[in-house]
Amino acid sequence: MGQVSTHITPEVIQRHGLAEEEYGQILKHLGREPNMTELGIFSVMWSEHCSYKSSRVHLKRFPTEGERVVQGPGENAGAVDIGDGLSAVFKMESHNHPSFIEPFQGAATGVGGILRDIFTMGARPIALLDSLRFGELDLPKNRHLLKGVVSGISWYGNCIGVPTVGGEITFNDIYAKNPLVNVFCLGIVKTDELLLGRAGGVGNPVLYIGAKTGRDGIHGATMASDSFDDASEQKRPNVQVGDPFLEKLLLEACLEFLDQRLLVGIQDMGAAGLTSSSCEMASRAGTGIELELADVPRREPDMTPYELMLSESQERMLLVADAGKEEQVIAICRKWGIDAAVIGKVTDDGFVRIKEQGTVVAEIPAKALVDESPKYERPAKPPEYQDILQSLTIENLPDVQDAEDVLLRLLDSPTIASKAWVYRQYDHMVGIDTVVRPGSDAAVVRIKGTNKALAVTTDGNSRYCLLNPYVGGTLTVAEAARNLVCSGAQPIGVTDCLNFGNPERQDIMWQFVLAVEGIADACRTFGIPVVSGNVSLYNETNGLSIYPTPIIGMVGLIEPADRMLTQWFKKPGDRVILLGDTQEDLGGTEYLKVVHYREQGAPPWLNLETEKILHACMLRLAAEGLVQSAHDCSDGGLAVTLAESCFASQTARGKPLGATIRLDANDLRTDALLFGESPSRILLSASLEYVERVMAIAREHEVPAQEIGTVGEDRLTISVNEQPAIDMPIAALFEQWSQSLESKLSA
Amino acid sequence: MKWGVIVFPGSNCDRDCAHVLADVLDQDVNLIWHGDSSLGELDAVVLPGGFSYGDYLRTGAIAQLSPIMHAVQEFTRTGGLVLGICNGFQILLEAGLLPGAMLPNVGLSFICEDVRVKVENADTPFTRHYESGQVIRLPIAHAEGNYHTDPVTQAALQANAQIVFRYCRTDGTVTEQANPNGSLDNIAGIRNAAGNVLGLMPHPERCAEALLDNEDGQLLFRSMIDSVMSRQAEKPAAS
């Protein structure tokens, strides 16, 4: 959309992604025809990406309040009180569309964007996590996308000096033409210094700082609100280019402004750049804003107001300073070598007014762009294929014959295999807060100057969500919370990134509505508020949608910090205990996919109350220091969970340790026992002297618990009904698991 | 004692070094802006890790032109202790305070992990609390740690015991397999001929606390403290 015609025709309106009735609303808001600049502004602000027009009505279901909540949804990020006068600030965002078109810069600028969301709140970012989805690695294109995304994340995160401490990656061909890149960031702020994106104080100066504005990324937000076809790779010019060094300077400068209390409000110029930052700041504060475009630092000559307002050049921020303090802001920017200019002021008339050399080129009520943007309750109904998906007669599938072979195949599956190839490229230690590095259930970062640590995890299981979106939604939240309690952390807040297909399709909308309901019910039952989030729709190429993929990011508090737990066995002779019941839960499992090539069946039903009790029990065990290790039993079932607990942590004291396990199948199939994915289970190890106490606490909480074996030696031995099922050296299991990703990538 | 940690635009480990020195080792620490021209009264200087100037042009190439580097040069000439970690090492090479240069890692990717390092020379102000031949565990995090120099310099480094740390296996043997980045002769850290400047790629500040499961790096800072303290004890007190 480089050249802009001056006449607004139906074709121009359509090219801006606006529906006919939406254009009608624009006419009503303005009481006249918009000019091209105004149309451009409406089109990005009313895009799905910025306005959440299809999702807003449903997101209201999330519980967003709680004792610890300092800032709920609606700001740059959410904030939760962690005591000691500090708050944890966090959010997750998607950068799916750009990452498919240009994986390196797409992913890198995703990291840059989420970091800005955190430090605009006044928080210093201390941890990044990524949830990624790709097609299977047998296709060269998918390997290219994975490598590009990982090196983009690595480049940006390492350079700016924020550790990438965890995340998750799964592979499925449904993502081949719609890979997902969801980035989570956590920061810490003094609660009384928390800053919001508000243009307060009529007459206060509006400042622009950071990179100069160029023609890059114009209409990125509109692109992210559309489906793809084969020509989408032509949209490469819509992808922005990042500069992590500049962002590092911006980060330090912003933290200095906050330290000196120079600002009233601050907002990242992310999607829709200058447009969204100015409109949102004015709308939140109930004020207006007036900008003079001639004062905007720019990279190229002859940029039109349209281009200046819609550019998505990276590493830029819009600030509102206390009147009289603008010179101090500019001096700090000069010290850090970044551009800064006063480009406007806060007004009291509720309008966003854009001038060029004094002439008004756009004038729109801020509320029309933000609060009064369209919202839809789009029709939803289950797809016709849903019954077929859910039908699975397990009796027709043979039970496992060679459990050792199945275990090796599961450990080799890239979804389960070690991700060391990935996180070895991320600086996961800078900041020296990383107490538990990538590879355990959750990463743990200590909070300097306190006796506390935070555990962080991101989780998603799109296959469960495909088979039953509601149950999948509940399971996703449950798994994230379980990962935290297994690390000894009390969950205190949720952020989410909801990745779905085209909301104008009824089956996609049905998936969305039910998944949101599942997430909301689980968060409400567990008492964990949702404080921020992001929705990414139109993840569809050539009419094929991704599986519904809600990703949950969750933060938990550990106090004292040294009560944190990891998943790895610690000492020979320790007893292995399984909390929770194992049922015949084979629907939607990784086992069914890898061994029987089926993604079918009903996912395990999650009893929310059972899960909640399990968390309470686990936290009690951690608080009393009774267990040596705890591992969430999920992908790949009990056998994979056991193998993972045998592998060592990558720290100084980590040593691989085997285990001898005796299981009683009762009436269960062996595959369900070993590889089924019943939820609400945790695998523990504890010193012999504490076993009785562990069992007593489990009984007290009415959590089923069985002692199933002993840690030791260098083999994993599992017998079922006293018949040997698995008896393999840990070294062989480890090799399969640790080499899988690298060998598939070098194919 | 008084430490200075230099802050270049893009330094990332400045606050980490300051934390270990001030909060773990109870030292007096100043963060010194790269644009300053004086270090003030200091006993030791740290050039921290990070991506000074975004690693644009070449790692350390722009930072070595910062005004503060004149003061660091002068501090070095007068025998002050200078420690360069990771990007700080790269800056010391670019500034000519240590011999040699860095190439991109042989595997061409960034590597962040714990490695085993052998203390080749425990008779330096930086390593006196280690034993010669001791194998320690330190984290690395870099894309350009492939140390390189010409054969003459290499021979001199060897002859003057300037090679302080080498990448090795758990048992202390120095092998190609134990070399994470392809560096010449498995070099992880070197000192200057005068012995008061040390550069190393691994991060001792990342393993100086029990909570982080490894304290092997703390001894490097303790060595420096004791070296300065004992040197001050030898000098007559200023009147």
Contact of A408 with A84, CB cutoff 8 Å: no
Contacts of A401 (CB under 8 A, 6+ apart): none
Average confidence score pLDDT of chain B: 94
Report CA-CA distances (Å) from A464 to A182, A479, A576, B119.
19, 12, 28, 52
Residue type, A574: D
Q: Which one, of A173, A130, A131, A61, lies nearest residue A512 by Cα?
A: A61
For range B65-78, the mean pLDDT:
94
Residues of B in contact with A248 (CB under 8 A): 9-10, 12, 51, 54
Q: What residue numbers bound the domain in which B126 lies?
A: 2-234
Out of A49, A219, A428, A631, the active site residue is: A49
Burial class (CB in 10 A: 0-12, 13-18, 19+), A309: buried
Residues of A in contact with B206 (CB under 8 A): 429, 432
Which of the residues A424, A432, A436, A446 would you substitute to probe the B interface, choosing the one with the greatest number of B C-beta atoms within 10 Å? A432
- Residue A224, pLDDT score: 64
Q: Which one, of A170, A86, A58, A107, lies nearest residue A555 by Cα?
A: A86
Query: Residue A663: which region, alpha, beta or left (left: phi > 0; alpha: psi -120 to 50)?
Result: beta
Tell me the DSSP string of A141-168: HHHHHHHHHHHHHHHHHHHHT--EEEEE
Distance between CA A59 and CA A358 in Å, rounded?
Answer: 41
A434 contacts B12? CB cut-off 8 A: no
Contact of B135 with B117, CB cutoff 8 Å: yes
Contacts of A674 (CB under 8 A, 6+ apart): A400, A403, A406, A407, A637, A638, A639, A663, A718, A720, A725, A726
Percent of chain B with pLDDT over 70: 98
Is B36 part of the contact surface with chain A (CB cutoff 8 Å)?
A: no
Between the two ends of chain B, the Cα-to-Cα distance in Å is 19
Task: Give strand pairing partners of A80.
Answer: A69, A88
* Interface predicted TM-score (ipTM) of this complex, two decimals: 0.94
DSSP alpha helix (H) spans, A161-272: 220-223, 244-259
Task: Give strand pairing partners of B189.
Answer: B165, B200
The answer to whether residue B217 sits within a structural domain is yes
For range B171-195, the mean pLDDT:
96
The answer to whether residue B78 sits within a structural domain is yes
Task: Give strand pairing partners of B44.
Answer: B3, B81
Q: Which one, of A133, A109, A125, A134, lies nearest residue A164 by Cα?
A: A125
Question: Please, what's the b/e burial string for A23-41 (b: 16 or more CB within 10 A of its CB; e: otherwise)?
Answer: bebbeebbeeebbbbbbbb
Query: Residue for token digits 């306005």?
Result: A51
What is the three-class DSSP state of A460? coil
The answer to whether residue B84 sits within a structural domain is yes
Per-residue tokens: A383 = 């797809």
Per-residue tokens: A360 = 């008004």
Which helix H or strand E contains A48, and what residues bound it?
Answer: helix A48-51
Tens-place pLDDT, residues B19-28: 999 999 999 9
A432 contacts B216? CB cut-off 8 A: no
Contact of A478 with A460, CB cutoff 8 Å: no
Low-confidence ranges of chain A (pLDDT < 50): 1-5
Distance between CA A519 and CA A260 in Å, rounded?
Answer: 40
B211 contacts A151? CB cut-off 8 A: no
Please indicate whether residue A144 is annotated as part of the active site.
no
A562 contacts B211? CB cut-off 8 A: yes
The answer to whether residue B239 sits within a structural domain is no
Closest-CA distance, A544 to chain B, in angstroms, reads: 35
Per-residue tokens: A182 = 């969801």
Q: Which one, of A519, A529, A534, A552, lies nearest residue A69 by Cα?
A: A529
Is B65 part of the contact surface with chain A (CB cutoff 8 Å)?
A: no
What is the three-class DSSP state of A577? strand
Please indicate whether residue B205 is annotated as part of the active site.
yes
Is residue B154 over pLDDT 90?
A: yes
A652 contacts B213? CB cut-off 8 A: yes
- Residue B122, pLDDT score: 97
Residues of A in contact with B205 (CB under 8 A): 432
B51 contacts A158? CB cut-off 8 A: yes
Is residue B29 over pLDDT 60?
A: yes
Residue type, A234: Q
Q: Which one, of B34, B210, B51, B202, lies nearest residue B113 by Cα?
A: B202
Contact of A435 with B211, CB cutoff 8 Å: yes
The answer to whether residue B48 sits within a structural domain is yes
Candidate from A154, A245, A337 with C-beta closest to B51: A245
Closest-CA distance, B87 to chain A, in angstroms, reads: 11
Out of B13, B17, B86, B168, the active site residue is: B86
- Residue A242, pLDDT score: 87
> How many domains is chain B partitioned into structurally?
1
Give the domain CATH number at B172. 3.40.50.880
- Residue A233, pLDDT score: 61
